[in-house]
Amino acid sequence: MTIRSHAKVNIFLKITGLRGNYHELSSRFMQVKGLFDTLSFIPKEKANDDFTLQGSFGCQREKNTIYKAWRILKEDTKNQRLDDFFKHHAVVVEKKIPEFAGLGGGSSNAAAFMKLCNKTCKLNLDKQTLAQLGSKIGADVPFFIYDYPSANVSGIGEIVEPFEEDLLDIKIFTPPIKGDTAQVYTAFRKNHIQEIAQNASLASCMEKERSNAIMKKYTIQEANDLFAPALYLYPQLQNHVKEGWFFSGSGSTFFTTQKV
């Protein structure tokens, strides 16, 4: 019982509004086909009541998105099959996606876990329900639930609309800088909040354009509103800026795309 958990990049990311403590966005998410974690359900040597999660994670189990997904599925479905199954099976993740890098690895892991649970434990939840539950874990999770190669994502991540376009070969470079998403958004709100109206206008144009056209037309700063606050927090990012390369999410990954 194994499933791939792909990375994503943000071809563009515009902050278009505020909703309480949350930031509304407009973004083009695209899967990175060649970069994925592998999540498996493996029989335990000895059955026990502990939820067993194995992998090279940079956080405690209780803060891991997979653990959070398990708790949410248990609380929402109250399905005894979940308890019974994980008494006898461990979750094992082979990590390839860099953490704290703007590639959505944690959100992708949570979505992959939920989809494999849904199938293995026969929870019979449709994708919309899984996406709604996933949104409680993180804003990127619904995109990975729907599993579109490319999609326009808006609201606070809950609106996911497939975007039909040619596949792109995405190449990434992740410097040894761990981006703190919360701090990057805080820096945006502190230093760039006045740009929201302009961002929303540009986003409405970008939503209609193909990803390869966006990469040719816009600069790294124009494409991603979080690049400037990330650079403010981590000035060493400037050492890795190259022509034709862009910035994913809150960082620290840079990427470029070529049409396949």
Catalytic residue among 14, 115, 140, 225: 140
Is residue 70 within 8 A of residue 52, CB to CB? The reply is no
Residues sharing a CB contact under 8 Å with residue 151, sequence separation 6 or more, in sequence order: 28, 29, 143, 160, 161, 162, 163
Is residue 39 within 8 A of residue 109, CB to CB? The reply is yes
Number of residues written out for the chain: 260
Query: Cα Rg for the chain, rounded, in angstroms?
Result: 18
Could you give the 3-state DSSP secondary structure of residue 166? coil
Does 166 participate in catalysis according to the annotation?
Answer: no
Query: Hey, what's the torsion of the CAs at 203, 209, 214, 216, to 10 degrees?
Result: -140
Catalytic residue among 8, 14, 68, 115: 8
Residues sharing a CB contact under 8 Å with residue 164, sequence separation 6 or more, in sequence order: 150
Does 140 participate in catalysis according to the annotation?
Answer: yes
DSSP string, 182-235: HHHHHHHHHHSGGGHHHHHHHHHHHTTS-HHHHHHHS-HHHHBTTHHHHHHH-G
Tokens 């989809």 sit on residue = 115
Could you give the CA distance from residue 73 to residue 92 in angstroms, rounded to a whole number? Answer: 18
Name the amino acid, one letter, at 100.
F
List, by residue number, the catalytic residues. 8, 140
